Amino acid sequence: MVGVTKFCIHPAQARNQAAVIGGTKNFDFEKIAALKPDLIIGNKEENYQPGIEQLAANYPVWLSDISNLPEALDMIRRVGFIAGAKDKAEAMATEINASFAALAELEPKVPAEYFIWKQPYMAAASGTFIDDMLQRAGFANVFAGLSRYPEITPEQLAAAAPQRIFLSSEPYPFGEKHLAEFQAICPGARVEIVDGELFSWYGSRLQKSAAYFSQLR
C-alpha cells in the first residue's frame, strides 16, 4: 500500500506507511504519478467520476459500488483476490457474515431515522448501505419511501415520528450539543449519537458492526 486518502485512518499506522494522496474527491495526481501504483481501488459513491476516469487512463482501476451487506462481502473477497490475499479476505468476509447472521430477528422493527448532515438536514433513505444496516439492526427507516440522501425539513421529521433518531459521528460531526435540537422536533423520540463508521464503512470495520448494533437495539 503506497497511497491512501486523508480519510484513511485505519489501521492507526496507515498514514505513516503510505503517502496521503488527497481526499476522496480531490486527488493529488502528481503524488499518485510519483508512487507509480500497480492498482488503484476506488468507490463509485465516495470518489468523483472525472478524477477516476483520469486515473483509469493511466493505471488499472478497480471500482466498487456498494449498497448492501452482500455487495460489501463480495468487495472484500474480490479485493483480497486481486491483492493476493484471497484466504485472508475469505476469512474476514465469513466472520462478518456470521456475525450478522447471529443478530436476533427483532420484530416489529423500531421506526427510526439516521441523519448524516445538518444545514440542511440530510438523512439516509432507501438505496443506501446505511439503510441496509438499519434494517439488519432491527430498525425500520421512516424515510424508506425516499431515495438516497434526501434533505429533510423539521416538519417532515415531526410528521414521520420516529421512535429513535440516530445522529452520525461522520461525515457531519454531530455532537452532544445537537441532541436537544432534534429532541425539540421529536419530543417522544430517543435521540443519540452513533458511530458512523460502523453504519457506513463497508470494509473491515464491519467486523465490529453487528455487536454494536445488538447493543444499540
Q: Using one digit for the tens of pLDDT, what is the confidence trace for 77-128?
A: 999 999 999 999 999 999 999 999 988 777 789 999 999 999 999 999 999 9
Which residue bears the cell 493476493? 84
206 and 141 housed in the same domain = yes
Which of residues 10, 38, 65 is at a domain's end? Answer: 65
With respect to residue 73, please indicate whether it lies within any of the assigned structural domains: no
135 and 191 housed in the same domain = yes
Q: Quick check: pTM over 0.75? A: yes
With respect to residue 207, please indicate whether it lies within any of the assigned structural domains: yes
128 and 210 housed in the same domain = yes
Structural domain of 130? 110-216
Q: What is the average pLDDT across 130-136?
A: 96
With respect to residue 127, please indicate whether it lies within any of the assigned structural domains: yes
With respect to residue 18, please indicate whether it lies within any of the assigned structural domains: yes
- Residue 43 in this model has a pLDDT that exceeds 80: yes
Q: State residue 42's pLDDT score.
A: 95
Number of structural domains the chain divides into: 2
Q: Using one digit for the tens of pLDDT, what is the confidence trace for 163-192?
A: 999 999 989 999 899 999 999 999 999 999
**Quick one: which H or E segment has residue 100?**
helix 86-101
Which of residues 28, 46, 65 is at a domain's end? Answer: 65
180 and 119 housed in the same domain = yes
Q: How confident is the model at residue 201 (pLDDT cuts 50, 70, 90)?
A: very high
147 backbone φψ class: left, alpha, beta (φ>0; ψ -120 to 50): beta
Residue 65 DSSP code: -
- CATH code of the domain in which 1 resides: 3.40.50.1980
